[in-house]
Amino acid sequence: MSGYDVVIVGSGPVGTAIARELADLDPALRLLVLDAGPVLGPEPGGHVKNIADADARAAAVATVTGTRTPPGATPPRPGTALIGAPAMPNAATATNVGGMGAHWTCACPRPGDDEIPDFVDPAAFGTALTRAEELLHVTTHAFDRAPLTPTVRKLLGERFDQPGRRPVGPMPMAVTVGADGSPHWTGPAVIAGDLWRRPGVTLLPGTLARRVLMEDGRRATGVEVADTATGAVRRISARAVVVAGDALRTPRLLWASGVRPAALGRYLNDQPQVMAAALLDDPGVPDASPAGTAIVPLSGVSWVPYAADRPFHGQVMQLDASPVPLDPGVTVRPGQVVGLGWFCRKQLSPDDRVWFDDGDLDEHGMPAIRLEYRLTAADHAAIAAATTEIKAAAAALGRPLDEPFVMPAGSSLHYQGTTRMGPADDGTSVCDATGRVWGTGNLYVGGNNVIPTATACNPTLTAVAFGVMSARALQARLRAEEGS
């Protein structure tokens, strides 16, 4: 067995951030990052929106887009494949270097109020959030040049701003803006920087982790992996293992490895999503849209923040000129239609869960993913309130287009909670506040799945911040072992 100091399973935003932080803290560490999928585009973990050639971009995304659409589901988003779970028909995963971070919308709001776990040290978490924003290149100025942004923000602010709440403002975005105003979208390649060129750091695509190798059930000694092209299986030794796949496949790997705490896979949290569209009054929108794949920079991306007494998170972003049916004869200029998405806080329950069918194994010996998920009376009430609010927001912006609608479960792709952290090993959590799995000395988990709270905001920034905290705790543990 070849050996490393740390093996990290998953090259998405959190897995890459953990690797980057470990390498920055201790350049001598030997790190291996595994991903079951291929590299898309010219750089490992690059955001597909940054692939300039449209044909090349479409071809890259097509290689990892699923073709199956089960009953009750909408077709998978480009770059994802649907799981096929009746209880959550739009549940999907991304299998490529960079994970969902190669396809995401790059929204990075900070969590607020009770979205933040009360057992996490506020100062340490605040520092980690700042570091996460640095790694992701988060800015609130990505769309400063968008001519309709002031109008959109003014109208939303007049409708929703209240004392004691965070005001409507620009959505913090993981975007680097060029001198000409063009955006470069943050994929894990941006988080990595020069990481994959550093000595001692290896990225291995096309390699599926089948098992975490455990000694006496308490200490990870490495991973068993399979080459996804050939099926060849081998073992890799490590001083520590971090599993940062996603909220569905991270608990599956732990299950397959015999690491099965009571809360594993439970408290699955998807954010119910209400959508609407509005036709802005036309105050002189340009006739032509700029070329490229980014959001056309006319109305930008605006944010209606979450509050504990208003348990929704709203984002308003520009759609293409004709994404929704319009009345015959209506002429729409580019940038005139905006989409509104309200994400609702989901009531947490241990009965919402992902579990694994050992009687249905794939070609690599991994059990099939099954989902159990339902909306409670409180969830339906939240959705109804969000629907009322999004109608008001659409009316404030201009002319609402059709009625708001609720997306099928799983549409948010913001799945959380399945390896949730907690303050104590009491059966309701899988790991501690550093991501270390209870009862183990050197097995860590990372990703949206560690977030233990009912949230409405986009979870990537929060998850990367927790990943930063995990990397710092793990590096300190490895250093302590060396000195003992």
Active site residues: 414
- The dihedrals phi and psi of 9, each to the nearest 5 degrees, come to -95, 110
The string of DSSP letters for 403-469 reads --EEPPTTTT---B-TT-B-SS-SSS-SB-TTSBBTT-SSEEE-SGGG--S---S-SHHHHHHHHHH
Rounded Cα–Cα distance for residues 100 and 51 (Å): 16
Work out whether strand 201-204 and strand 31-34 pair parallel, antiparallel, or are unpaired: parallel
Contact 111, 248 (CB under 8 A): no
Rounded Cα–Cα distance for residues 376 and 348 (Å): 9
Torsion of CA 242, 465, 355, 237, to 10 degrees: 0
Rounded Cα–Cα distance for residues 146 and 295 (Å): 10
Who contacts 119 (Cβ-Cβ below 8 Å, separation ≥6)? 422, 423, 433
Retrieve residue 280's tokens. Answer: 């802005």
Q: Enumerate the β-bridge partners of residue 301.
A: 317
Rounded Cα–Cα distance for residues 438 and 196 (Å): 31
Work out whether strand 233-243 and strand 273-280 pair parallel, antiparallel, or are unpaired: unpaired
Q: How many CB atoms lie within 10 A of CB 395?
A: 14
